[in-house]
């Protein structure tokens, strides 16, 4: 049966049922309006509070937003800083760097950088040659054994490592403590201080090493300190200070705080969670400065047109 037949039959049927309602006529499709040229709202200016807070830190606060998103300039800066962090982690401490800086050169059991990232356990023990070098050349029975190391940022180690080591040595010597042979360990993790400290018979060991880079800080050092170091100590036996770099805790300030902490360890013959830092609250607080930090400037790595443009 042809389609026109069906239509006729349907029309007759409708008529017989008392309803002569023709098929609805075809409607013109609705016109969809053109999209607006600018579909995002105007950027909102950060509040006065956010502006003030952002002036005192390099952290990503008070960065404003465009609708629900970051501004383009913020995204680009974020990506650039991430690249800096990646490259800081990827940097390898040159073999000869320790010797060139007058430091006893030590190596963990790690053989290359990839293995360093994949096998933290190997970064916690010395290789055979280093162990012999340490036994032959390092002064034994010292009060404090500082160890400079690459950790997760050789950039930080090469940047302010020597300065921190020297300031710390001076702070300790001023207090009449004996300080161990200056040394630098390559492919090192925090716990390497246990074996080194045990070998030299130090009362306190402190490892100064590159911390995991964050945004805007590929050059931060951390210091992890332990009383009566020996293989088998855990992180609950340690105390630490992070964020040591020019825009965070500058090396002289950090050295002062570390010496205060070492003093508490020597006095209380313990470290970590059993160490009472209460009596030092004021001194540590004063050393750190309890007020607002000096204004901080986040180094712009990417420029997008004029100020405010491209946001
Ligand atoms: C990565 C990291 C961690 C990771 C460590 C995982 C790993 N296997 O690497 C995890 C998520 C487990 C962690 C946990 C904790 N962390 Co954490 N952590 C960090 C971070 C981001 C980087 C550390 C780093 O670069 N280390 C250097 C590399 C070379 O060390 P590593 O040998 O590879 O790894 C060892 C250290 O990272 C150590 N570690 C990590 N955190 C802490 C904290 C303390 C107090 C100690 C003694 C050791 C320690 O644990 C790892 C294994 O031994 C820092 C921030 C910073 N920018 O430094 C915070 C930081 C060090 N952590 C901190 C804290 C408070 C803790 C916790 C106590 C949190 C909690 N309440 O549970 C725990 C303690 C863990 C422990 N080991 O006992 C604080 C320490 C503050 C202070 N001055 O005491 C920091 C500075 C963050 C902060 N700003 O608050 N952490």
257 Cβ inside 6 Å of ligand 1: no
Q: Quote the longest CA-to-CA distance of the chain.
A: 116
Mutate to test the pocket of ligand 1, among 89, 119, 190 (most ligand atoms within 8 A of CB): 190
Residue 289: the pLDDT is: 47
152 Cβ inside 6 Å of ligand 1: yes
Whether residue 25 lies inside any domain: the answer is: no
Q: Can you tell me the distance from the alpha carbon of 306 to that of 147, in angstroms, rounded to the nearest whole number?
A: 47
179 secondary structure, DSSP code? B
Q: Is the pLDDT of residue 252 over 70?
A: yes
Whether residue 283 lies inside any domain: the answer is: yes
Nearest of 238, 228, 176, 231 to residue 201 by alpha carbon? 228
124 Cβ inside 6 Å of ligand 1: no
Same-domain check for residues 213 and 72: no
Ligand 1 center to 41 CA (angstroms): 41
- In this prediction the pTM is 0.83
211 Cβ inside 6 Å of ligand 1: yes
Whether residue 54 lies inside any domain: the answer is: yes
Banded model confidence at residue 264, pLDDT cuts 50, 70, 90: very high
180 Cβ inside 6 Å of ligand 1: no
Same-domain check for residues 143 and 195: yes
Whether residue 236 lies inside any domain: the answer is: yes
Same-domain check for residues 200 and 255: yes
Mutate to test the pocket of ligand 1, among 212, 237, 238 (most ligand atoms within 8 A of CB): 212
Same-domain check for residues 249 and 109: yes
Question: How are the residues of the chain apportioned to helix, strand and coil, as percentages rounded to the nearest 5?
Answer: 40, 15, 45
Ligand 1 center to 228 CA (angstroms): 21
Q: For 24-33, how does the pLDDT look when each residue is reduced to its tens digit (9 = 90+)?
A: 777 888 888 7
Mean pLDDT is highest, among 43-57, 172-186, 287-301, for: 172-186
Nearest of 28, 30, 34, 64 to residue 48 by alpha carbon? 64
Phi first, then psi: what are they for 178, rounded to 5°?
-85, 135
Ligand 1 center to 10 CA (angstroms): 80
Residue 38: the pLDDT is: 60
Whether residue 61 lies inside any domain: the answer is: yes
End-to-end CA distance of the chain: 66
Same-domain check for residues 279 and 156: yes
Ligand 1, atom nearest to 214 Cα? 57
* CATH classification of the domain holding 260: 3.40.50.11240
Whether residue 295 lies inside any domain: the answer is: no
Same-domain check for residues 265 and 243: yes
Same-domain check for residues 78 and 112: no
Q: Is the pLDDT of residue 71 over 90?
A: no
Same-domain check for residues 74 and 172: no
The whole domain housing 55 covers 48-89
Q: At what angle do helices 154-174 and 251-268 cross, to 10 degrees?
A: 60
User: Among 70, 89, 108, where does a domain finish?
Assistant: 89
Instruction: Provide the Cα torsion 132, 136, 140, 145; round to 10°.
Output: -60
Q: Can you tell me the distance from the alpha carbon of 7 to that of 263, in angstroms, rounded to the nearest whole number?
A: 101
Ligand 1, atom nearest to 212 Cα? 25
Residue 205's beta-bridge partner residues? 145, 226
Same-domain check for residues 84 and 226: no
Mutate to test the pocket of ligand 1, among 156, 188, 233, 240 (most ligand atoms within 8 A of CB): 240
Same-domain check for residues 64 and 156: no
Ligand 1 center to 224 CA (angstroms): 10
Segment 217-225 mean pLDDT: 94
Number of domains in the chain: 2
Least confident of 12-16, 196-200, 246-250, 302-306: 302-306
Ligand 1 center to 232 CA (angstroms): 18
Same-domain check for residues 269 and 223: yes
Same-domain check for residues 187 and 107: yes
If one compares 117 and 303, the residue with the highest pLDDT of the two is: 117
Whether residue 212 lies inside any domain: the answer is: yes
Whether residue 249 lies inside any domain: the answer is: yes
Q: For 136-189, how does the pLDDT look when each residue is reduced to its tens digit (9 = 90+)?
A: 999 999 999 999 999 999 999 999 999 999 999 999 999 999 999 999 999 999
In this structure, the residue with its CA closest to atom 59 of ligand 1 is: 242
Mutate to test the pocket of ligand 1, among 151, 222, 232, 280 (most ligand atoms within 8 A of CB): 222
């Amino acid at each position: 049966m042809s389609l026109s037949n069906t239509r006729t039959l349907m029309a007759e049927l409708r008529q017989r049922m008392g309803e002569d309602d023709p098929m609805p006529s075809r409607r013109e499709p609705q016109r969809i309006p053109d999209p607006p040229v600018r579909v995002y709202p105007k950027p909102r200016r950060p509040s006065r509070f956010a502006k003030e807070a952002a002036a005192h830190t390099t952290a990503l606060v008070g960065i404003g937003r465009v609708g629900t998103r970051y501004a383009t300039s913020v995204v680009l800066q974020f990506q650039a800083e991430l690249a800096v962090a990646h490259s800081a982690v990827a940097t390898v401490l040159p073999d000869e760097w320790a010797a060139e800086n007058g430091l006893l050169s030590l190596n963990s059991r790690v053989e290359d950088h990839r293995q360093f990232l994949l096998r933290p356990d190997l970064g916690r023990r010395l290789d055979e040659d280093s162990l012999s070098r340490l036994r032959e050349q390092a002064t034994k029975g010292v009060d404090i054994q500082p160890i400079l190391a690459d950790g997760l940022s050789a950039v930080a180690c090469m940047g302010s490592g020597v300065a921190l080591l020297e300031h710390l040595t001076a702070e300790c010597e001023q207090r009449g403590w004996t300080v161990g042979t200056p040394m630098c360990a390559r492919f090192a993790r925090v716990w390497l201080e246990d074996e080194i400290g045990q070998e030299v018979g130090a009362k306190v060991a402190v490892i100064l090493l590159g911390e995991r880079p964050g945004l805007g800080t590929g050059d931060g050092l951390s210091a992890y300190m332990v009383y009566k170091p020996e293989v088998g100590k855990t992180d609950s036996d340690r105390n630490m200070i992070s964020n040591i770099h020019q825009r965070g805790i500058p090396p002289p300030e950090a050295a002062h705080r570390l010496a205060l902490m070492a003093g508490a360890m020597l006095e209380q013959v313990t470290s970590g969670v059993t160490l009472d830092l209460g009596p030092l609250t004021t001194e540590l607080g004063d050393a750190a400065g309890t007020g607002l930090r000096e204004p901080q400037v986040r180094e712009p790595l990417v420029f997008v047109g004029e100020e405010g443009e491209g946001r």
